Amino acid sequence: MSIESQLTAQSVIRTFLTDQLGRADIAVDDELFPSGFLNSLLAMQLIALLEKSFAIRIEDEDLDIANFSSIACMTNLVNRKRAS
């Protein structure tokens, strides 16, 4: 995965989360869901965003909080899915 596409993925996810969470200061490694619990609307919108933006399919086995807990984790998930 090129550095360029890594940055694109980060930027798409960050822009979405900034709008959704109303915070402009989200770092790539920030723990987004410290309670381990995702609001279901945001959770489903995130799945749709990742699938639509990166032409991937999030499957049953990808449902792991570790895949969604930070921008970096989601970027890694996207990159793994795109590589496979």
Partner 1 sequence: MSCTADVIESPDLAEKRRAFRRFVDEHVRPHATASDRAGRLEPAVVDALRRAGYLGAPLSKAVGGCGMTAVVYGLLTREIGRACSSARTLLTVHDLVGLTLQRWGSARLKAAILPHLAQGGALAAIALSEEDAGSNAAAITTALSQSRDGYRLNGAKRWVSFGQLADWFLVFARWEGRFTALMVPGAIHGLLRRPVTSMLSIRAGMMADIEFHDCEIHPDWIVGRPGFGLSHVGATAIDFGRYSIACGAVGIADACVSASISHARERSQAGSKLIDHQLVRARLTRMVAGARAAGLLCLRAGYLRDTAEPQALIETMIAKYFACGHAAAAANDAVHLFGARGLTDEYPLERFLRDAKALEIIEGSTEIHETTIGGDPLLER
Block residue for tokens 């609001």: 39
Block residue for tokens 């895949």: 67
* Shortest CB 66 distance to partner 1, Å: 11
Name the residue nearer to partner 1 (CB basis): 2 or 77: 77
Name the residue nearer to partner 1 (CB basis): 25 or 60: 60
Distances (CA, A) of 32 to 18, 20, 67, 71, 82: 11, 12, 11, 8, 23
Name the residue nearer to partner 1 (CB basis): 46 or 75: 46
The C-alpha atoms of residue 5 and residue 10 are separated, in whole angstroms, by 9
How far is residue 30 CA from its own chain's centroid?
Answer: 12
**Residue numbers of the site for partner 1 (CB under 8 A)?**
16, 19-22, 36-41, 43-49, 51-52, 60-61, 63-65
* Shortest CB 80 distance to partner 1, Å: 16
* Shortest CB 50 distance to partner 1, Å: 9
